[in-house]
Amino acid sequence: MKLRLFAIAMLAMALASPLPAICANPGTASAVKKTAKKKVTSTTGKHAPTEGVATTGAVAVDLGLPSGTKWADRNVGAEAPHAYGGLYRYGNKGKTSGEGCPKKNIAGTALDVATKKMGAKWQTPTQAQIEELWNETTHTHDVVEGVKGFRLTGPNGNSIFLPFTGTMYNYGRSQAGEFAFYTTGELTESWMYQVGVEVIALELWEKDDNTFVPKIGSTSIGEGNPIRAVLK
């Protein structure tokens, strides 16, 4: 009986005690969520969201390339030429390992992320187009409004700026300001032999040494990377 009375007394005291501040004031928790959300909605700098914003105001830049291909002045999902924009897995599919990503070339198809985000006149570049961009331009490191990247200048003197966006491994943005893999809409041939599924990409590095060499290479379709669109 004494134990039962003691338990009842303890329960009454607990119910009479004031709740902790975070529960007593729901606005506190709400304010914390709003602050965190505000951080990731910036479209410039390292806090840029992985999906980017609606790409408005994009301009097609004529670099004087042999093919006549015109390149967008900003990344897909970017609101300005120096902004990072979004990071997209191949075909914008998959979760953390590329599962669900299409095992085929998607440039100019219904799965083309650039077309979906920017409109029917834009598409993700092909391997030939990204190779021409790199081989027919001069490349210099540049900083625009505090954002590091490469400036590619065409034969006619016009140029585009490609920021070091970093990448998305599982989720979120990693290593912004250090490198960027600008992906195409085409896969390497190795995927047909199950060696590994990779998308052809222009690899750009903030470092400039024998280990980190800017080049046309490839990266996993399961990683989220930037896209610089071309005019169809």
Q: Based on the fold, state whether residues 181 and 76 are members of the same structural domain.
A: yes
Q: Based on the fold, state whether residues 151 and 218 are members of the same structural domain.
A: yes
Q: Based on the fold, state whether residues 98 and 175 are members of the same structural domain.
A: yes
For 143-185, how does the pLDDT look when each residue is reduced to its tens digit (9 = 90+)? 999 999 999 999 999 999 999 999 887 777 877 878 899 999 9
Beta-ladder partners of 201:
183, 217
Q: Based on the fold, state whether residues 79 and 193 are members of the same structural domain.
A: yes
The pair of three-digit structure tokens given for residue 65, joined into one six-digit string: 């390339």
Residues 78, 182: contact at Cβ < 8 Å?
no
pLDDT of residue 41: 29
CA-based nearest residue to 141, from 106, 109, 193, 177: 177
Provide the domain count of the chain: 2
The pair of three-digit structure tokens given for residue 84, joined into one six-digit string: 């990072």
DSSP letter string, 117-178: HH-TTEEPPPHHHHHHHHHTSEEEEEEETTEEEEEEE-TTS-EEEEE---BBSSSS-BSTTT
Opening angle at CA 139, ends 60 and 126, nearest 5: 50
Cα(41)–Cα(225) distance, integer angstroms = 18
Residues 176, 163: contact at Cβ < 8 Å?
no
- In three-state secondary structure terms, 13 is helix
pLDDT of residue 31: 29
Q: Based on the fold, state whether residues 25 and 116 are members of the same structural domain.
A: no
Cα(38)–Cα(74) distance, integer angstroms = 23
Q: Based on the fold, state whether residues 136 and 178 are members of the same structural domain.
A: yes
pLDDT of residue 202: 86
What is the residue whose two structure tokens read 């896209």? 227
Q: Based on the fold, state whether residues 184 and 99 are members of the same structural domain.
A: yes
Q: Based on the fold, state whether residues 36 and 50 are members of the same structural domain.
A: no
Cα(196)–Cα(218) distance, integer angstroms = 11
- Tell me which H or E stretch contains 11: helix 2-16
Domain that holds residue 94: 45-231
Q: Based on the fold, state whether residues 26 and 94 are members of the same structural domain.
A: no
pLDDT of residue 98: 54
Q: Based on the fold, state whether residues 113 and 151 are members of the same structural domain.
A: yes
The torsion angles phi and psi of 118, rounded to 5 degrees, stand at: -115, -15
Q: Based on the fold, state whether residues 8 and 91 are members of the same structural domain.
A: no
Q: Based on the fold, state whether residues 9 and 103 are members of the same structural domain.
A: no
Cα(162)–Cα(73) distance, integer angstroms = 9
The low-confidence residues of the chain, meaning pLDDT below 50, are: 1-49, 94-97, 192-195
Residues 127, 184: contact at Cβ < 8 Å?
yes
The pair of three-digit structure tokens given for residue 143, joined into one six-digit string: 């900083």
pLDDT of residue 4: 44
Burial class (CB in 10 A: 0-12, 13-18, 19+), 114: buried
Q: Note the pTM of the prediction, 2 decimals.
A: 0.72
